A and B are shown apart, each in its own frame.
Chain A
């Protein structure tokens, strides 16, 4: 089974709200990723967790806060977002970090008003 699940599927939030995106995998993968994707563009890496530790932060604004509670779960906490943060947020996992095959979840469509 190569399934990565994400909740919620859709999210609408105001610029003063606090919300969280959740991601889960049960493939025993030790690397998990957050990507942001705008329309007609490829996924853009935001964060990488390797063995539950943050290994890459692609200079993402602090209004995005990742968390890895355990090896199967990945959260992305959102606070004081801007309308330009509206996008499809993708979670992915791989056997370990680096250049192994990444498996993506279905994404969360986020709209910031």
Chain B
């Protein structure tokens, strides 16, 4: 059974303090790993799709990386507007749906 575990559950940082969020996964065959950002009461906003180990993608202060067992979302010099819940999801070979992690609630204090 496909599984996704995100850590930490919650993270509080000072503005400018860089850190990383972790998404560990177990799948039969990875077809894609997805990162989303979700603000309270709103729909998830797509950030990145990663397909194979070694792949990296960047967008502004965010950088996502992928290994065969986990993905990291690196946040460099974060700002208060980066505060949100970050969701990780995986799609596997033969699966009809994505499996989501529980999310990491990130708070950036000014």
Q: Which residues of A contact B (CB under 8 A)?
A: 2, 4, 6, 40-43, 45, 48, 55-56, 88, 90, 92, 97-107, 109
Contacts and interface: CB of A to CB of B under 8 A. Distances in A.
Question: Can you list the 3 inter-chain pairs with the closest CB atoms, starting with the nearest?
Answer: A99-B91, A42-B100, A104-B43
Contacts of B32: 99-101
Interface residues of B, number: 24
Interface in B34-52: 34, 36, 41-46, 49
Nearest to A91: B43
Given A42-B102, A42-B103, A99 B95 contact: yes
Contacts of B95: 98-99
Contacts of A90: 43-44
Contacts of B43: 4, 6, 88, 90, 92, 104-107
